[in-house]
Amino acid sequence: DDAKAKEKATGVLYDSTTTRFWDTYLDGRFIELFAVKLGGDTPPTDGVALTRGYKADIVTKPEGDESSFVITRDGASVFFAAAPSGSSQGMGDPSSLYTVPLNASAPPQRLDSAAATSDSVLALSPDGLRLAYLAKKGSVFTAPRARVMIRDLKSGTTHELAPALDRSPVAIAWSADSNTLYAVAEDVGQERIFALNALTGAFKPLTGEGHVAGLDVAQGMVVYSRDALDSPAQVFELGGGVRERALTHVGEDSLAQTPMSAFEQFAFTGWNGETVHGYVIKPADYQAGRKYPVAFLIHGGPHGYFGNAWSYRWNPQVWSGMGYAVVTVDFHGSSGYGEAFAKSIVGHWGDRPLEDLQKGWAYSLGRYTFLDGDHACALGGSYGGYMVAWIAGNWAQPWKCLVDHDGVFDIRLMSYSTDI
């Protein structure tokens, strides 16, 4: 900042990065790693810069967190995942694994120069012998599956754990005995915790319905937050003979005064004769034999989902509370249904999802007689907004209104235009 204040020129020269990322102009500063020693009651000593001069964010913006780095059990070094130093942010350079001494005696070194995957979300086994991380092959716009990888820190060899798990984890954590790796992944309209055997790769789901948003593990217990279409997030635990137990009851009084509407998952035959899932949510004042106007909500992404989860942005219970029935469809391209399902719309951003939406709408009208198909609105944000614009030109007949929120308006090079 001091050096910038002394410059007389007002222009900015960008020679090693993009000019902006989403809603922020880049100024040449990066999120670095520092080591700070803590000792009893004495104040922390000054931090040691571990990545000074490294021109890439160690914790990515805007949604990165501490899973970007781990400290080795002996306290000698740090592993982190980042894009190559000097790479253009957001322009396709994959993030890789690096190591740096905790005393900053050497610059960061890449662990595997031949790796072509984009690596992130690190977890070190309690025995200190193995590093687990998530790796993706290919562009984010082609919906690559996040694969759970294990690196033997002594030999340097890596292998994929549980390759038969056709889901894309977003968080991982080790058991205390280093024999199990817990992974959070979307799964057919839910987001579950899976337990992966760290030796055999065998896996099983530990949680049922709902959306798990984070987890931690200690003393044989798994602690996590879970929400659902009819409940905001609460903290739960399982393990030690306990199947599942709520630890918090946040907003209990308010929730008791706010009845949530009933919902149901359904399945139908969509594009290419393949099974597609969706949800229907009844209106708050539901009475058998009556018909209700419908809010047909379309999720963003497109590699996202509109499943059994609570939302503070597009919450079906808001429309239900106003007297609408709600229908959602996890069209082809949605996450949580396998890699092939997600990849099937690459190059088909409009036609295949639209076919699923049309068939899902027809199916729901035929099955749920309380839906008033003559009084319905299609609404969506981001990719959902793009699809609403697509509907306006290709399928406007059923709708009394269309709502396009923050919709993408242009497609370039088989990808969605962004603010990069």
63-81 mean pLDDT = 93
pLDDT for the residue numbered 420? 43
pLDDT for the residue numbered 256? 92
What is the separation, in whole angstroms, between the first and last Cα of the chain? Answer: 25
Which of 236-250, 309-323, 356-370 is least confident?
236-250
Which of 37-41, 106-110, 397-401 is least confident?
37-41
Cα distances (Å, whole numbers) of residue 327 to 158, 182, 186, 374:
44, 32, 20, 14
Tens of pLDDT along 144-199? 999 999 999 999 999 999 999 999 999 999 999 999 999 999 999 999 999 999 99
pLDDT for the residue numbered 12? 80
pLDDT for the residue numbered 90? 57
pLDDT for the residue numbered 27? 79
Are the CB atoms for 236 and 249 separated by under 8 Å?
A: no
Q: What percent of the chain has pLDDT over 90?
A: 72
358-371 mean pLDDT = 98
Tens of pLDDT along 279-305? 999 999 899 999 999 999 999 989 999
369, pLDDT greater than 90: yes
53 beta partners: none
Q: What percent of the chain has pLDDT over 70?
A: 94
Burial of 232 (0-12, 13-18, 19+ CB in 10 A): middle
Closest CA to 299 of 242, 378, 384, 367: 384
Closest CA to 35 of 23, 25, 48: 48
Spatial CB neighbours of 65, under 8 Å, sequence gap ≥ 6 = 59
21, pLDDT greater than 50: yes
